[in-house]
A and B are shown apart, each in its own frame.
Chain A
Amino acid sequence: MGLLYGLIAVGLALIFGLMDVTNFAHGEFLMIAMYLSFFLFAFFAIDPLLSAPLVAAALFIFGAVIYLLIVRFAMRAKANAGMVQIFTTFGLAIVMRGLAQFFFTPDYRSIPQSWLGGKTISVAGIFLPEPQLVGALVSILAFAGLYFFIHRTDFGRALEATREDPGAVALVGIDKNRVFAFGWGLGAALVGLAGAIMASFFYIYPDVGASFALIAYVTVALGGFGSVFGAFAGGIIVGLVEAVTALVLPPSLKSVGIYAVYLLVVFIRPRGLFGSI
C-alpha cells in the first residue's frame, strides 16, 4: 500500500513540487483512471493489469490538456497566485466529481474478477495479497524510470530549469508551456498507473479520489516539496505508519497515525525530510 501511495505522491510531487503549482484535483485524476480501468474491463474485458499502460497514456493526454486549457492561465495570475491555483484546481476537482456523478452515477463499482483481485501469494510462510504486491513492483519500476528521467535526461533538467527561471529558459529556446504540459502529463500518467492497479482491489465511486488526495499531499510534504525521491520515501513511510497504526488503533483512526507523523516531521524539519523548497 505504501508503495502505491508513493506512486500517487510522486505524480503529485512532479506537478506540485517540481513545477511549484498546486493541484487540488489530483485525487480526481486518480478517480478518472480507476473508472477508465473499470470500463476497459467491463466493455472489453481487458484486465486492469494489462490496461494500466493504456490508462497511463490516456491520463498523460488528459493531464497535458488540463494544463494547456486551464492551469496555464492560473499560473499567469499576477496577484494571489497561490490562492488562484488552489481554487482553480479545486473548482476543477468539483467539476470532475460532478461529471463522474452525471455519467457514471454515484454507485459503487468494482471489478469482480481480475487476475489479481482477492488472490494471495505465500512468501516464506507470510501471505501477501497479490494486487498490492504487483502494485509495489510496478511502483518501484515506475519510480526508477522517473528518477532516471528527471536526473539523467535533458527533459528533466529542462523541467527544473523552467521552474527556477522561466524567463532565462525562454531565452535558450525552451517553450515553458510545452515543458510544463509534458510534466503535467507525466504526473497524471503516474496517477493513471496507480489508478489502474488500485481499480482491481478498490471500490470505484465519484468521490474515491478525495480520500487519497489528502494522503498524497501529506506524503509529498513529508518527503519535502521538490524532491521526487522524497515523495517516494514519504510514500513508503506513510504505508508503514498506516500499517502500524492499524495494529494499535481502531481502523477508523488509521489515518491519524499518518497525520501525526507528518506534523512531527515538519515540526522537526520544517521542509520535510528531503525538501528543497
Chain B
Amino acid sequence: MDKDFAARRRRDLIIAAVLAVIAALTPLFVKDVVVQNILILTLMYAGLSQSWNILSGYCGQISLGHALYFGLGAYTTELLFTKFGVLPWFGMLAGGVVSALIAMGLGYPFFRLRGHYFVIATIVIAEIGLLLFHNWEWAGAAMGITIPIRGDSWLKFQFLRTKLPYFYFALALCCLAWFVTWWLENSKWGFWWRAVKDNPEAAESLGVDVFNSKMGAAAVSAFLVAVGGSFYAQFVSYIDPESVMGFQFSLLMALPAVLGGIGTLWGPVLGAAILIPLTELTRFKFGGSGRGVDLIVYGTLIVLISLALPRGLLSLFSRPKKTGAAR
C-alpha cells in the first residue's frame, strides 16, 4: 500500500518532468508570435491557478480577490524599478514578500468569516485595492506605469525582439507552482489544509492549528501569485490598475482550477491548457467584431462544463473507486 502511494508520487513527478521538457521544446516548432503569446499566457495562468488552488482548493478558503496579489506583485516590481531603479528580479521577490505579508495581515480578520461572507470580503478587498491604486497619484493613478524600454537584457528582464525568454520564465513559474503543490501535498501542511477544508472542528480536535494553516496557505498562495503579477507586468510592459488588479484576474485564476478539478494536483494545469487557448482563440476569431460573440461562446462553454462536470475535467480520468470491497 505504501509502495502504491510512493509509486503514484513518483509517477506524477515523472509525468510533470516529461511535460515540462515537451513544453520547453515547443518554441523550436512554433514560430508564430500569436501562438507563442497564447502559450505564454496559458503557462502563466496554469501557474497562477495552481497557486490559487493552494489556498482555495486545498485549504478550502475560496478567494475571488487574488487579483489584489497579482496587482501588488506587478506594482511593487514596477514602482521599485521606475522610481528607485531596483532590478525587476529583486522587485519580483519584494512583490512576493509584500503580498504574502498583506495576505497574512488580512488573514487575521478574514479567516473568522465563513462561506459567502468570506468570498465577498475577498472580492471587496481587491476592489478597494483597485480603487486606491486608481487614485494614487505617485503610482500613476489611472494612467498607470509604462515600463521604460532599455533594450533586451536578462538583467532587466526585458525583451523586445523575442518572446522566448518570457516563455521560459512562464514555464519556470508554472513548474515552480506545480512542484510546490506536489511537495506540499504530501506534507503536514497539505494534510492540515485538506482537513481544515473538510471539517475545521474535527481538524482542531486532532491537534491541527486551523488558523495558522489558513495563514500558511494564504502566504504561499499570495507569494506565488505576486511573482506571476510581476512577470506579467514585465511581459506587457505597461500596467494600470484595471489591467493588473481587475476582477477578471481573480476569475481567470479560479476558473482553470475549477474547470480542471479544484483541490487536485493536475486540475489547474489541465484547466488552463484548455481554457486559456479557448479564451484567446475565441477573442482572436470573434473578438474583432466588437459584437460580443467571443463572450457568448466563452460563457456558454463555462456553463456547460460546470454543469456537466462538477468535479472538473480530471474526474473523467480518475480511477474507479474501490467501494464496497470489504462490506
Q: Report if A and B touch in the complex (beta carbons < 8 A).
A: yes
How far, in angstroms, from A94 to B306 measured CA to CA in the complex?
14
**A88 / chain B contacts, CB cutoff of 8 Å:** 302-303, 306-307
Does B131 sit at the interface, judged by CB under 8 A? yes
Q: Closest B-chain residue to A224, C-beta based?
A: B117
Which parts of A68-113 form the interface with B (CB within 8 Å)? 70, 73-74, 77-84, 87-88, 90-102, 105-106
Q: Closest A-chain residue to B134, C-beta based?
A: A252
Q: Closest B-chain residue to A106, C-beta based?
A: B290
Does B123 sit at the interface, judged by CB under 8 A? yes
How far, in angstroms, from A255 to B123 measured CA to CA in the complex?
13
Q: Number of A interface residues, CB 8 Å?
A: 51
Does A193 sit at the interface, judged by CB under 8 A? no
Does A158 sit at the interface, judged by CB under 8 A? no
Whether the Cβ atoms of A83 and B113 lie closer than 8 Å is no
Given contacts A88-B303, A266-B117, contact A102 B293 (CB under 8 A): yes
- In the assembled complex, how far is the CB of residue A150 from the closest CB belonging to chain B, in whole angstroms? 20
**B295 / chain A contacts, CB cutoff of 8 Å:** 94-95, 97-98, 101
Stretch from A47-55, A123-131, A174-182, A214-222 forming part of the interface with B: A214-222
Per-position 1/0 for B294-327, Cβ under 8 A of A = 1111111111001100110000000000000000
Does B114 sit at the interface, judged by CB under 8 A? yes
**B134 / chain A contacts, CB cutoff of 8 Å:** 252
How far, in angstroms, from A207 to B272 measured CA to CA in the complex?
26
**B302 / chain A contacts, CB cutoff of 8 Å:** 87-88, 90-91, 94
- In the assembled complex, how far is the CB of residue A140 from the closest CB belonging to chain B, in whole angstroms? 26
How far, in angstroms, from A185 to B1 measured CA to CA in the complex?
54
How far, in angstroms, from A258 to B290 measured CA to CA in the complex?
33
Closest 9 CB pairs of A and B: A101-B292, A98-B295, A91-B302, A94-B299, A95-B299, A98-B296, A98-B292, A91-B303, A77-B310
- Taking Cβ atoms with an 8 Å cutoff, the residues of B that contact A are 62, 109, 112-117, 120-121, 123-125, 127-128, 131-132, 134-135, 247, 251, 255, 258, 262, 290-303, 306-307, 310-311
- Taking Cβ atoms with an 8 Å cutoff, the residues of A that contact B are 16, 22, 70, 73-74, 77-84, 87-88, 90-102, 105-106, 206, 214, 217-218, 221, 225, 250, 252-253, 255-256, 259-260, 262-263, 266-267, 270-272, 277
Excluding A92-B303, A97-B295, A255-B127, 17 further A-B contacts by CB distance (< 8 Å) are: A16-B116, A22-B116, A87-B303, A93-B299, A97-B292, A98-B294, A99-B296, A106-B290, A214-B247, A221-B120, A256-B128, A259-B125, A259-B128, A262-B124, A266-B113, A266-B121, A277-B115
